[in-house]
Structure 1
Amino acid sequence: MSAPARIPFPVVDEVARHCLQEEEPETVHIEVHLPGHLEPARIRKAFTEALRRHPRILVREAPGPWYRRRYEWEPTDGPDVEVVRFPAPGKDALGDARTRALAQAPPLSASPPVRLDVVAGSGTVLVLTINHTALDGPACLRVLATAAELYGGRDNSPAAPPVRAPGPPQGPADTPSAWSPPARVARGTPERSPGNGLLVAELPLPRRPRGAPYTVNDQLMVTTALTIAHWNREHGAPRRPLRITMPVDDRPRDTTMPIGNGTRLVEVPFAPDELDPAGMPGLLRRTASRTRALKSLPRPQLGHGAALLTAPWAPVGCRAALTRALRRAAAPWTSTTLLSNIGRVPYPLDFGAEAGRAGAVWFSAPARMPRGLTVTTASTAGRLHLALRWSRALLGDGDGDRLRDLFAHYLHTTEATE
């Protein structure tokens, strides 16, 4: 039997591969809280079978000489390594699993580039660690939903997405100029150790009037902008425009969902003068106009420049060096932060009668400098689950607490729109 055909790295995967850093691994962390307990043998079997049902996740980086023109994924028939782990229970077990998720990326050389820690306590916490070079959070959540269905025997089909009237493609109206470098998140009290820090919190979902011209995602975007503007004022940073990167994911959520890195990135701009809570109704309307327009415009995942960089005109080693140099040169123009709003988690993540269904789901995205801070949100069981992740070269644990408090405050102000 012939070996499966290799898959050239898509643009997102290749750019990420070029820019890997050992100090700040590119991992995505997903944390699912269940009220009951899982049987180790059954969850291992269910998750392994789920991997097989989504075979695009069963890949490793194919070896090759330095002068090769492309990186390639090599499909495998099954996992190369044991993917599901069961850390020893204890008061520090969840914290240790989170630390591993931020500090230790599953290797690209072994299939699949994911790791699942099953942390037992009063209930069960599933900590899924993803090498972001290969996969994103929504794709792996789809795989986890399949595992839940296989384990518990209950339907884990995705809920229907919200129905919104599509707007015609248009350029963003009333958009601040993009000709000046955006603000950076002001330096707080960084730590000496490298890597990322993480804070997770549960907040009330913001209320939104029926028929409002904006979405919860727009409320979260405004909240993020006001939080950073306030933080920067507290730390004496100069007033500059903010630009917030927003992933847009158009993939279906059912079993046909393409597995990999499937989001495209757009940037939502804010002028310093408009970040005033006193003008909240107008700020929400303008933000909604910008996000709707950006979502409707066709655009490559990382923009047109990335596609040129990843064209196989030279060996990958040469293009990697060029990509890293251009990334350093473009650092002042990198967006202020990233807000990734998963929205309502589309799957019940129901593992059956004994384990139950998810009561909380957190995601976190890499927070490499120069951004140094990412904001990730999802909603489950009528609550908002917020993850703040930061580079320890920029912020410390106390800074994360302050940013959480600011976020909660401004999230509440987005409800006062009358």
Structure 2
Amino acid sequence: LEAPDDDGAGVTHPGVPKIADPAALLRHLDASGHFHRDSRAGRMYHPGMVSLREAVSTDSLHVSVDDNRVMAHVDDASPLVVENEGRSRYSAPRAVAHNLAGMAKDLLTLVRGRQGDHRCELNCEWVAADAGGTPVKVPLLEPKTSAWGVQLDVRVAGSLDEARLEGALDDVVGVCGAGAECLTIVDCDDDGALDLARRRLHGTAVPLTSPPPFHVYLAHHPAGDMLMLNLNHAAVDGFGAARVLTRIARAYAADGNSQEALEFLACADLPVQPAPPATSRLVRLRRMTIERVRDALSRPPRLAAVEGGDRAGYGFHLVGLSAQQTRDMAAVGRADRGAALVAALHLAIADWNEARGMPGRRIGVLVPVDLRPDELAQHVMANLSVNSRLSSTPRERAKPAVTLRAIAWQAQRDNATRTGIALIAALQRAGMLALWAKQSSVVLQPLTDNHFADAAMLCDLGSLAEAPSFGSDAGPVRELWFSPPSRSPRCLCVGAVTVQGRLHVTFRYPHRLFGPEAVRRFADLYLAQLERVATCST
């Protein structure tokens, strides 16, 4: 077996084969002594498959292999008991507990549907390129119809040197010439030209075929230069995008003092490619029936379109709160600030739709959740987030305090039942994290594949401990704007981040949904509801 330097996650595993050879990796797991290979009796629920269970009592990785299909999930309760000598065997009481936990999780999935990421799984088909196979293309990995990129803009008080920025990008990516390849210089005399450049940047899809998986605009502006990033969401999520920006700023400030290059797992050149899991016609019919019944009983309303047109693409509306308004938001009491932001969005959507004759019962907002384990090396970048839906009923929206409590309770419940962080950590232990990076967008697909899409998505990066610093000659950071992407053509995306004591909110709206004046009115309504939520909580 080939012994790599590391597993792609910054952790050295001597003697572990590289992920480029999945068969050798699985054979290694079988022989490592850390996994239990199921016998015929243990495979009763996985007939005809190879089944490997991690020999730990809780958060146990379960890997199943069916021909060229690799599946993995984490069991909250393992059916195995680990003996003192390191051997493992099935235990009847633990098997009962394992099956009961699985039944409860299946029931939760049936009832809640898209509303959580409780079924975080690795499920992909691997087709060897040298075997002449034709892999099934997954649109979300290389989107052709939309850019599907994370937006991140930072403005400095002074100016940024173009050649020095190119060198910093080379240093961050670890590829000479990468900066010149991904960097574009634009001159913007006013905010209108800056907005046009932003829309042009995010109207282009960033490929994953070679690093870096992002495009960069350096916009020279009279009020200070702005660095604008469009990062492929299959390669990095919003939380990782903030880390990328910080590394770029540090590399620029270091001016030639090299740092460890970032490693984007989704850009790995693997001889195998993922594909959506195959499902039978009966399974697809059952899933479609359940979704239609669920949506008929509680149809998620769309956001009422105003001044929308037929053209594709997105616009951006930026709103910065004052330092005092941000401090008021920080005093939300025991509830999380993120819950307050989501609660205000629920109230704004309800008022907006009701004023236009489109009242709805249950409103759903997708909220990305960071699954990145603390022990993962800082230079490793991947899309390690999943979407959780936080919903509200008309009764829960009767008063801002009730809405805030309902959203905060759902968020706490999801955190208590979420298996994603345990799965990421387990895949890292097994040297399989690159598989998740390659198919992370496939895991997210069911959340946007339903007939009825959620009205909005909101991602809060929180309050940055310190603003990214490009050095004294560039001046301090004045603004930082962020927004997540959505695959739905009618979904409003809201991004929030606090830097230098001020909350920055970005409304990323499809042109099919809003016009510039309509999104301004919706933003005003949202800020008014945000003030109501903050006031009621204090």
Bin the TM-score by the shorter chain: 0.7 to 0.9
Structure 2 CA distance, aligned partners of 1:369 and 1:77? 37
Return the match for 1:29 from 136, 143, 151. Answer: 151
Larger Rg: 2
Q: What does 1:128-143 correspond to in 2, within 5 Å?
A: 128-143=229-244
Structure 1 CA distance, aligned partners of 2:379 and 2:248? 15
Query: Partner of 2:183 in structure 1?
Result: 84
Q: What does 1:390-401 correspond to in 2, within 5 Å?
A: 390-401=509-520
For structure 1, the 5+ residue unaligned runs are: 53-75, 155-176, 304-311
Query: Partner of 2:225 in structure 1?
Result: 124
Query: Partner of 1:200 in structure 2?
Result: 318
Asked whether the equivalents of residues 490 and 513 of structure 2 are also in contact (C-alpha less than 8 Å), the reply is: no
SS at match of 1:148: helix
Return the match for 1:144 from 239, 245, 254. Answer: 245
Query: Partner of 1:330 in structure 2?
Result: 450
Query: Partner of 2:413 in structure 1?
Result: 293
The alignment's TM-score, normalised by the length of structure 2, stands at 0.58
Query: Partner of 1:182 in structure 2?
Result: 300
SS at match of 1:118: strand
Amino acid at match of 1:261: N
Structure 2 CA distance, aligned partners of 1:11 and 1:386? 33
Over the matched positions of the two proteins, sequence identity in percent amounts to 25
Q: What does 1:38-49 correspond to in 2, within 5 Å?
A: 38-49=160-171
SS at match of 2:381: coil
**Residues 86, 192 of structure 1: alpha-carbon distance in 2 compared, 3 angstrom cutoff:** same
Amino acid at match of 1:397: P
Structure 2 CA distance, aligned partners of 1:47 and 1:386? 27
**Residues 348, 209 of structure 1: alpha-carbon distance in 2 compared, 3 angstrom cutoff:** closer
Structure 1 CA distance, aligned partners of 2:529 and 2:307? 23
Asked whether the equivalents of residues 186 and 232 of structure 1 are also in contact (C-alpha less than 8 Å), the reply is: yes
The alignment's TM-score, normalised by the length of structure 1, stands at 0.74
Structure 1 CA distance, aligned partners of 2:479 and 2:510? 25
Superposition deviation, residue 151 in structure 1: 2.0
Superposition deviation, residue 255 in structure 1: 6.3
Q: Deviations over 1:279-328 (max 9, x none)?
A: 33333223222112212322349x9xxxxxxxx9xxx9xxx9xx99x788
Superposition deviation, residue 85 in structure 1: 2.0
Amino acid at match of 1:295: N
**Residues 199, 367 of structure 1: alpha-carbon distance in 2 compared, 3 angstrom cutoff:** farther
Amino acid at match of 1:221: V
Amino acid at match of 2:351: H
Q: Deviations over 1:23-61 (max 9, x none)?
A: 432111111011011111111111220122xxxxxxxxx
Return the match for 1:384 from 486, 494, 503. Answer: 503
Structure 2 CA distance, aligned partners of 1:107 and 1:380? 30
Structure 2 CA distance, aligned partners of 1:95 and 1:12? 40
For structure 2, the 5+ residue unaligned runs are: 9-17, 23-69, 71-120, 126-135, 256-293, 424-434
Structure 1 CA distance, aligned partners of 2:327 and 2:239? 23
Superposition deviation, residue 12 in structure 1: 10
Amino acid at match of 2:397: L
Q: Deviations over 1:386-405 (max 9, x none)?
A: 11112222222222111111
| 1:50 and 2:151 aligned | no
Superposition deviation, residue 117 in structure 1: 0.9
Structure 2 CA distance, aligned partners of 1:328 and 1:244? 12
**Residues 82, 260 of structure 1: alpha-carbon distance in 2 compared, 3 angstrom cutoff:** same
SS at match of 1:87: strand
Superposition deviation, residue 138 in structure 1: 2.3
Deviates more, 1:124-133 or 1:136-145: 136-145
Structure 1 CA distance, aligned partners of 2:351 and 2:149? 28
**Residues 121, 400 of structure 1: alpha-carbon distance in 2 compared, 3 angstrom cutoff:** same
**Residues 18, 35 of structure 1: alpha-carbon distance in 2 compared, 3 angstrom cutoff:** same
Query: Partner of 2:78 in structure 1?
Result: none
SS at match of 1:116: strand
Structure 1 CA distance, aligned partners of 2:448 and 2:195? 33
Amino acid at match of 2:186: P
Alignment: residue pair count? 351
**Residues 340, 286 of structure 1: alpha-carbon distance in 2 compared, 3 angstrom cutoff:** same
Query: Partner of 1:275 in structure 2?
Result: 397
SS at match of 2:319: strand
Amino acid at match of 2:236: L
Higher relative contact order (CA closer than 8 Å, sequence separation 6+): 1
**Residues 43, 136 of structure 1: alpha-carbon distance in 2 compared, 3 angstrom cutoff:** same
**Residues 254, 202 of structure 1: alpha-carbon distance in 2 compared, 3 angstrom cutoff:** farther
Asked whether the equivalents of residues 186 and 237 of structure 1 are also in contact (C-alpha less than 8 Å), the reply is: yes
Structure 2 CA distance, aligned partners of 1:230 and 1:347? 36
Asked whether the equivalents of residues 202 and 385 of structure 1 are also in contact (C-alpha less than 8 Å), the reply is: yes
Superposition deviation, residue 348 in structure 1: 2.1
Return the match for 1:115 from 212, 215, 223. Answer: 215
Structure 2 CA distance, aligned partners of 1:355 and 1:142? 19
Superposition deviation, residue 362 in structure 1: 0.7
Asked whether the equivalents of residues 182 and 336 of structure 1 are also in contact (C-alpha less than 8 Å), the reply is: yes
**Residues 103, 186 of structure 1: alpha-carbon distance in 2 compared, 3 angstrom cutoff:** same
Structure 2 CA distance, aligned partners of 1:11 and 1:104? 29
Asked whether the equivalents of residues 309 and 512 of structure 2 are also in contact (C-alpha less than 8 Å), the reply is: yes
Structure 1 CA distance, aligned partners of 2:197 and 2:403? 39
Query: Partner of 2:309 in structure 1?
Result: 191
SS at match of 1:412: helix
